[in-house]
Homo-oligomer: A and B are copies of this chain.
Amino acid sequence: MNGPTNPDMCEKQCLHQDRVDRVRGDMLADVAAEGLAEIFGLLGDRTRVRILHALSLGELCVCDISAVLGATSSAVSHQLRLLRTAKLVRSRKQGKMVFYTLDDEHVRQLFAQGLEHVLERR
């Protein structure tokens, strides 16, 4: 009905067509943007950050993680499923227990990089 013209998109005067065209051409593919948002989103939660950091220090079972974080094993298990699905952690079953380890070197580097950011901003 309204067609492509959206009054909230200021298509009147301010648009720098050259710049816009150039940037449009270099923009990330949708999959890439989606993928980036997904991985960063996974790292963007306090509980998951702490789980991943704990695992970066060594292998732990669900119970241990719960104890370290002071969270219920249910909450931890829910989060571990997300991390497992995204292949950020790997699980190894041993009897009743399931041990988790980091399964992605990029995560370590992202952590280090992120920490630099956190520490250096002032």
Contact = CB atoms under 8 A, between A and B. Distances in A.
Contact of A14 (B16, B87, B97, B106): B97
A36 B43 contact: yes
A36 B118 contact: yes
B40 A114 contact: yes
A82 interface: no
Given A26-B57, A33-B50, A74-B8, A20 B67 contact: yes
17 contacts: A9-B63, A9-B72, A14-B63, A16-B64, A20-B60, A20-B68, A22-B57, A23-B57, A26-B57, A28-B49, A33-B46, A37-B44, A40-B49, A42-B44, A44-B44, A110-B113, A110-B114
A29 B70 CA distance: 14
A64 B23 contact: yes
